[in-house]
Structures are given as structure tokens and as C-alpha cells.
A and B are shown apart, each in its own frame.
Chain A
Amino acid sequence: MEKTFRILNEEGLHARPAGAFVKLANEFKSKVEVRANGITKNGKSIMALMSLGLTMNHEITIIVTGEDESEAMIKIEDLIENKFKI
């Protein structure tokens, strides 16, 4: 399943928020991918995520595939809407 979001935190996806995302993504068995500007990256890798250079108001699509995908999507949605604060 996939869903599109907008980055709400002012400083963009630098090390700390990216770290929070990666930590969460790794809690699930499903594959987690992040697509932005037509590039798709591994959502379980901090380097991959940071290299997307996402800043405020960027649109991103989260693609989750696997047995716990719906639960993962709910948690990820929460995280993004909470501006990546745990």
C-alpha cells in the first residue's frame, strides 16, 4: 500500500528526524520505501533517507509492502504528522 504526505517540520529531514523514521521503520517486517521527486529509497536506511534532501513542504510517498503493512502505515502516518517527534 502507498500513501502521500507533506513534510511539516521546518528543518526538513536531517539526521535526527530521519533517525526517528528509520528506527520506526525497522520495527516492522514489511519493506518500507520512500519516494520523492521520482526517486525511491529504502526507508530503513538513514543514509538513503537523508540523501533525498527532503525539506519542509516536500511531498513524499510512503510505500509499505508486507504482512504488517497496515499497522506500519498507521504508525508512520502518526510520525510524519507529529513532525517526526516520537
Chain B
Amino acid sequence: MIKGKVASIGIGIGKALILDDKEITLEFDKVENPALENLKFNQAMEASLAEINELYEQALSTVGIEKAQIFEAHSLILQDPEFLENIYLEINENHHKASYAIDIVSRRFMEMFQQIENDYMRERALDIKDVSHRLLKKILNINSVSLKDLSEDTILIAQDITPSQMVNLDLKHTLGIITEFGGKTSHTAIMARILELPAVVGARGITKFIKTGDLIAMNGDSGEIFINPDKETLHRLMEEKRKIDFQKKELQSYRDLPTTTLDKRCVQLEANITSPLDVDSVLKNGATGIGLFRTEFIYMDREFPPTEDEQFSIYKSVLERMQNKPVVIRTLDVGADKKIPYLKIPNEENPSLGLRAIRYCLKNKSIFKTQMRALLRSSPFGNLKIMFPMISKLEEVLILKEIISECHLELRQEGLSFREDIKLGIMIEVPSAAIMADLLTSHVDFFSIGTNDLIQYVCAVDRLNEEINEIYDPLNPAVLRLISHVIKVGEETNTEVSICGEMAGNEKMTQILLGFGLSKFSMNPSNILRIKKLIRVLHFERARVVSKEVLNLPSSSEIKNYLNSAHDKINQLSKKS
């Protein structure tokens, strides 16, 4: 057994496939005609640049903008003056072949990087390797082993897996990843977690101990790697994997079942996402739509805001993949705990009550309009709904509508198409908006209750302050009453209401919310099937009774007790009647 570093959890069992087990063989012969080698190199460079641009686009729609930027750096490396100068020098002065020149120069740079005493920087040597391998393959006409079409369950093993390999994996057959180098911050580790692929990194010497075709059992939770494990070990790991898979599968059997209570009340379960990559798990978990796409993550970990075209292609790809199922995209919700340095929000005494979300957007119209134009342009590609965060008064909604009209006008003048019938909604997360929900209904098409912030504002408690986190309480009667009020307003005015905060995915809250009349829940994709399973054994009329009783209880502890015994109580009631 070999142990590496935990990078992404889960158990993987499959045949080993070692990448790069054959080093590319290079000819050391000197050349007579450097001009030919220069030409070869230039052609390889152009072809590689085109490929890198393609990978950038591909990454943008699969792993998101942050990881896609790796390929921007690759493009800079490929055109780097020192890199090029060194290569031309090897070709023209030392009469090396282009391939050999690339190899020695990239090794030279990688060595420099590997000496840096900083994990993050050291791992950047891999970027150079990725770029130089691409060049070499072009020159030597080598087609890389396709990782896209594997025929059996495979554990990929490599010294390192490059970002371009990661975005090209066959996720049906790739069941795990083991690398010799890298740590938790390596691209491989980060991307594996996004893809929910078990991964162990930093397993020194692993490529020497394992041969392609060996049976590998790996445990991403402990970092353990077993090579051709004995029956007992294999059995134990398979058993564990079977348990995990069984739970997943058992829930998976609910995927295509309707979400209805025993007395036939229909409920919509939608998903919260933060990147286009999450769409896979949205579909896998049978969500009826996307109830919250948090766009701020598109803005994070970069040096300047995403352009209109970048955003357009992200929104379009999500809408297309959701095939006309509703997709609620929330405009930029920055500020408080979500920091985006280049937006230069000043340090505030009280950031959660400060310049954030829609308040920031209304004061920085050009950033907001860029997003709005991208959203409008993406609208013909699916069922887009737009939602605004942190609304606290009607005037904000009115100004937003004016800005949208401006965008309409501009787009029409530019001859760009968009839909005019997009549904507009607001987050109900500020108490003022919740209290006057009835006054807002005639101005918007839907509400989505953001319980995380609503609880914080109703209870006046900083949700990140651990000293007082017992005050942050979803069962505080005031919180429940306010939520019930908003849902009731929705029912009375025929305004769609959903909940997209943590509360929606919390099994303990499902019955109360259902009883309040909520018929749309939006949550992390991984919670959907659990909640669906629960709703299918609940009784709507009973939930009505429970929630009514709950609203009359004076404290959260009594509510908790009541809920714990609610089941028995209602059973007794139903027996009496």
C-alpha cells in the first residue's frame, strides 16, 4: 500500500492507465539546415496557439472562467520572448533540431521553477510542461493517447495530469486519478473536486510501482493506494464503494419520479449552481430547473470583470444545456463575505449592511449593464429568468426596469436579438422587502426567499460571527412568520414564490415550508433527491396543520420539541377524526 495526499474524496477501483509512460524519444543529431527547423518550429507554435485558444473556449464552458484562465497563461508562455529566444538560439547557434531545442529549453525553465520554495509557484512548472509537450507533439506528429474514449473502468496514473488533459477526460470510464506530484492546490486536485472524481496526489514514485493494466483500488478519503490488492482488501473497499454507490443509486431511482406528497400536492425542486460545470449534477439529480445561478463566481479570482461576450457564452451554454427548463440567473451579488478586489468596494464599518449586491450594481451602472446585456442576448437560447439580489425598496425595482429598457434600446439599435418576455424576479432577503411583499407583487414576476441573509437581518446577527451563532436561528418564530407571510402573499396574488437559501435543502424544515404553502424549493443539486424522497412520504394537509401550530409557538426550542413529536401527534389526531 502506498499513501499519497488526499485531493478529492471517493473510492475508485479500476485498471491502471499510466500516462506518458513512454518518454518522447528525441534525436540528438545536429542539423545542417537550421532554416527548416525554424520553419517547423514556427508552424508548431501557430498550431499550438490555435489549440490553446480552443481549449480556453472548451474550459470556459466546462470548468468555468477561473480555470480557463490557465490557458491564457499558456498562450503567454508560448509567446514568451525568453522562451523563444532560447529556442531559436539552440536551433540557429547550436544546430539542434527544433524538437530537441524545445525539450532542453523547457527543461531549463522547469528546473528554475522547481527550485522555488512555494508550492503554488512550483506547480506552475507543469504549465510549461503542458505547453512544451504540445509543441513537441506537433513537430513529431504524435497523436496523444485519447483520454476521451476509454473502454474499461480506469484509474489514471501520471507524474502529473495537465489542465488540458483534465478537461478532456472520459468521465464515464475514468474512476480515479493518482499523481506523483502536486498538492491540494494543484490544478489536478481542484479540477478533480469539481468533477467529483476520487483523486490522490503527491504519491511519490507511483509511476514506477505501477504498470498499465494493474488493478488499482484507491481511497480518496484516506489517500491509500492498493496495487493488485489481496482479496480481503479489495473486498473491503468494494464493499465500502458499494455502500456509497448504493445510497447514491437508491436515491437515483427517485430521479424521474414526480415530487408529489401522498395527497398529490406537486412540488418543484430546482438547483442552485455557481458555474456551468454544475449543470451535469443538476441533470443527474433530476432538478426541474435552476432556481439560482450565482453569477458572482464568474467575477471571482481574476483581475478584471468578465466581458459581455464571455458572460454571454457562459449563460448561453447553461440555457442550452437545460433545454427550456427554467433557469433563474441572479445578477452580481458582491460585497460582505463575497469579496472581489478589483471592484474596489471600500472597507466598510458594516459590510453586510453596506454597499453590496444590487446597491453596488446601481452605483456602478457600466458593470451592471455589461451583465444585463449579456443576459438579454442569451435569452433566445432557453427559458431565462432574471433575479435581483438584496432589494429593499420599490424604487430599486423601478430603476432596474429603466436600465433594462436602456439595454433593450441599445441592443435593438445594434441589431442584436433578445426576448422581451423574460420574467423578472427579486430576492426576498431584506426584512423590508418581506414585510411589504404585497406591495411589490405588481412590479415583479416572482420572489425567491434568500433565507441565509433573511435570518441574519431579522435576528440582527452576523452569520459569520461564531460567538453569537446560536442567535442565527432558522426556527426563530419571527423568521418563520415572515417566510409564511411572503408565501401567503404569493398565493393570494398568484406570484410565484420559491426558497433558495440553505433552508430549502434542510430536511428538518421541509414539512413546515410545505405546510406554509411553498411549492418551489431550490437547493444544492446533491440535496435534491433526498428532499424528493422525503416529500413523497409527507402529507400536505398534515403539513398544513403542523405549520399552523408551529406559527403559534413562542420560541425556537418549543418549535424544535414540537417538530420532534409532531409526527406522533398528527398520527393521534388523524386516528381521532
**Cβ contact within 8 Å between A45 and B81:** yes
**Cβ contact within 8 Å between A50 and B121:** yes
Complex: how many Å from CA A47 to CA B117? 16
Determine if B73 is an interface residue (Cβ-Cβ < 8 Å): yes
Known: A14-B121, A15-B127, A20-B303. A47 touches B82 (CB 8 A): yes
- How big is the A interface, by class? 20 to 34
Determine if A40 is an interface residue (Cβ-Cβ < 8 Å): no
Interface centre among B72, B82, B117, B302 (most CB of A within 10 A): B82
Q: How far is the CB of A83 from the nearest CB of chain B, in Å?
A: 7
Query: 0/1 per residue, A73-86, Cβ < 8 Å to B?
Result: 00000000001111
**Cβ contact within 8 Å between A47 and B77:** yes
**Across the interface, which residues of A come within 8 angstroms of B117, CB to CB?**
53
**Cβ contact within 8 Å between B120 and A11:** yes
**Across the interface, which residues of A come within 8 angstroms of B304, CB to CB?**
85-86
Determine if A4 is an interface residue (Cβ-Cβ < 8 Å): no
Interface centre among B81, B127, B304, B341 (most CB of A within 10 A): B81
Pick the interface stretch among B108-116, B203-211, B391-399: B108-116
**Cβ contact within 8 Å between A14 and B82:** no
Q: How far is the CB of A3 from the nearest CB of chain B, in Å?
A: 23
* Chain B count of residues within 8 A CB distance of the other chain: 27
Known: A14-B120, A16-B302. A51 touches B73 (CB 8 A): no
Determine if B349 is an interface residue (Cβ-Cβ < 8 Å): no
**Cβ contact within 8 Å between B80 and A45:** yes
Determine if B313 is an interface residue (Cβ-Cβ < 8 Å): no
Q: How far is the CB of A50 from the nearest CB of chain B, in Å?
A: 6
Known: A45-B80, A45-B81, A46-B73. A85 touches B303 (CB 8 A): yes
Chain A residue with the shortest CB-CB distance to B115: A53
Which positions 21-36 of chain A face chain B at CB distance < 8 Å?
Answer: 22
Chain A residue with the shortest CB-CB distance to B106: A47
**Across the interface, which residues of B come within 8 angstroms of A11, CB to CB?**
120
**Across the interface, which residues of B come within 8 angstroms of A22, CB to CB?**
76
Known: A12-B118, A16-B302, A20-B303. A47 touches B83 (CB 8 A): yes
Interface centre among B77, B121, B342 (most CB of A within 10 A): B121
Determine if A65 is an interface residue (Cβ-Cβ < 8 Å): no
Complex: how many Å from CA A67 to CA B83? 26
Determine if A60 is an interface residue (Cβ-Cβ < 8 Å): no
Determine if B69 is an interface residue (Cβ-Cβ < 8 Å): yes
Determine if B359 is an interface residue (Cβ-Cβ < 8 Å): no
Known: A19-B72, A44-B81, A47-B77. A12 touches B120 (CB 8 A): yes
**Across the interface, which residues of A come within 8 angstroms of B113, CB to CB?**
50-51, 53
**Across the interface, which residues of A come within 8 angstroms of B303, CB to CB?**
16-17, 20, 84-86
**Across the interface, which residues of B come within 8 angstroms of A12, CB to CB?**
118, 120-121
Determine if A61 is an interface residue (Cβ-Cβ < 8 Å): no
**Across the interface, which residues of A come within 8 angstroms of B69, CB to CB?**
16
**Across the interface, which residues of A come within 8 angstroms of B76, CB to CB?**
15, 19, 22, 46
**Cβ contact within 8 Å between B124 and A15:** yes
Q: Which of A14, A44, A48 contacts B124 (CB 8 A)?
A: A14
**Cβ contact within 8 Å between B112 and A51:** yes
Determine if B60 is an interface residue (Cβ-Cβ < 8 Å): no
Determine if B128 is an interface residue (Cβ-Cβ < 8 Å): yes
Known: A14-B124, A16-B302. A47 touches B80 (CB 8 A): yes
Complex: how many Å from CA A46 to CA B77? 7
Q: How far is the CB of A33 from the nearest CB of chain B, in Å?
A: 12
Complex: how many Å from CA A19 to CA B70? 11
Complex: how many Å from CA A47 to CA B74? 11
**Across the interface, which residues of B come within 8 angstroms of A47, CB to CB?**
77, 80, 82-83, 109, 128
Beyond A15-B124, A46-B77, 16 additional contacts (C-beta under 8 Å) are A14-B124, A16-B69, A16-B302, A45-B83, A47-B77, A47-B80, A47-B83, A47-B128, A50-B121, A50-B124, A51-B112, A53-B117, A83-B341, A85-B304, A86-B303, A86-B342
Report which A residues bind B (CB closer than 8 A). 11-12, 14-17, 19-20, 22, 42, 44-48, 50-51, 53, 55, 83-86
20 sampled A-B residue pairs with Cβ under 8 A: A15-B70, A15-B127, A16-B69, A20-B303, A22-B76, A45-B81, A46-B76, A46-B80, A47-B80, A47-B109, A50-B113, A50-B121, A51-B116, A53-B113, A53-B115, A53-B118, A83-B341, A85-B303, A85-B341, A86-B304
Q: Which 7 A-B pairs have CB atoms at the shortest separation, nearest pair first?
A: A53-B116, A15-B73, A45-B82, A51-B112, A47-B80, A46-B76, A48-B82
